[in-house]
Amino acid sequence: MIPIMMADFEYKIKQIQARTSFVNRPEVIEVRKIVEEIREGGNRALVKYISQFEYQTSLFAQIKIPETEIDLAYSRIPPDMITIMQKAIKNVRQYHEHTVPQSWTQPIMGGSKYGMKVTPIRRVGVYVPGGSASYPSSVIMNVVPAQVAGVEQIVLASPSNSEGKVQDAILAVARELGVAEIYRMGGAQAIAALAYGTEDMDPVDKIVGPGNVYVTLAKKEVFGVVGIDKLAGPSDLCILADHLCNPKYVAADLLAQAEHDPLASVILITDSSDLAAKVQREIDSQLFAMKRKEIIEEVLQKNSAIFVLGNNSVPIMIDLVNLIAPEHLEVFHDSFKVLIQGIRNAGAIFVGEYSAEVLGDYNLGPNHVLPTGGTARYASVLSVADFVKQSSLIVMDKRDFPTVGVDAMRFAELEGLSAHANAIRVRL
């Protein structure tokens, strides 16, 4: 059962969001030690930590997955599933092709111009989580926008089981996408190896992809040496619903998001106490058949809530959503146009009962790598823009130089930087 609340909404929101903090985590001491050892020890340290936390290995050569193993994994995937993967890749690629940043120039005066030069990042590391679930969709969502951006080298790392086996579906999708450099390694040790490289592995320029708390803290630790996409916390969903919507759909979507992991969060905000009661009954009915029932129950009891508001509560709904800043927002409400216009903070917005959040997870096209833990206040969905750099471009003609040069020289003198002023003066 999800707690139903009719007051103290802000307190409950802050209580739920507190679970996602990466500040002063006790794990950071261990993570820092792992990262530092791999930075200094390379292959030797990486092999040590993989043997300690993942599977027994003595050679770096065993960490890199050979092409034959990738091909065998691909052959074990049913052909109809390969077709579904191909369709998802096509949809995600088409969507992201609409978002490619373009280089541009603009005349400013005479023969001078300025602009922006867009350049793909050269080498990117993609981390794909393993553990209790398989995430081939995460391969698609991270690799495709990098490819659309023009990234030359894409490296994939994913944890394995105790025998050193990475899940077939992950390897199959990687093969379908043409990613050949794949490593069986996870956790903080994988992030450190990607960031610093080893004797047999070149470092990357940026690391993307979600993971557990050790992965996230390691990304935080290496940021600055490499770029990162974001500090991904547990997944979350907020649903805005009125009395007109189908409680079966609402319950199903809440359960779907709750099965990710015990720290996931789901919140329903409604202006109908009748709907709230129906959703509770539907949750109890549908939960019975769920394979990850224990995880879902923990999420519903600890990190979730149903907020029941009074009549004419659309402004309150908007305020609550902007405070939550959800990763996923579903709007099943007759006043959806007003709600969407007022909502500033949401990673992805799904409008209407058939715009199920699960479609965004897999095959519709938009990316499922989204800001979590309230970071939608300032962060965005993963896109092609995350895989390019933008360099400003200036082309100044000699005849136009005095027009802006004198003003620049005066600014330099105002700041007391005589060498800056001199760099202008010698050209005048």
Burial, 52: exposed, middle or buried (Cβ in 10 Å; 0-12, 13-18, 19+)?
Answer: exposed
Q: 125 and 155 in contact (C-beta within 8 Å)?
A: yes
Active-site residues, by number, are 327-328
Q: In Å, what is the CA distance from 56 to each residue of 65, 162, 165, 323?
A: 15, 8, 11, 46
Q: What's the one-letter identity of residue 221?
A: E
Q: How far apart are CA 151 and CA 199, in angstroms?
A: 23
Q: SS3 of 24, please?
A: coil
CA atoms within 13 A on the CB side of 103: 12
Q: 215 and 188 in contact (C-beta within 8 Å)?
A: yes
Q: 120 and 387 in contact (C-beta within 8 Å)?
A: yes
CA atoms within 13 A on the CB side of 416: 0
Task: Provide the CA 346 distance to its chain's centre, in angstroms.
Answer: 13
For 248, residues 6+ apart whose C-beta sits below 8 A from its C-beta are: 282, 286
Q: In Å, what is the CA distance from 373 to each residue of 15, 20, 26, 207, 227?
A: 12, 6, 19, 20, 20
Enclosing H/E stretch for 181: strand 181-184
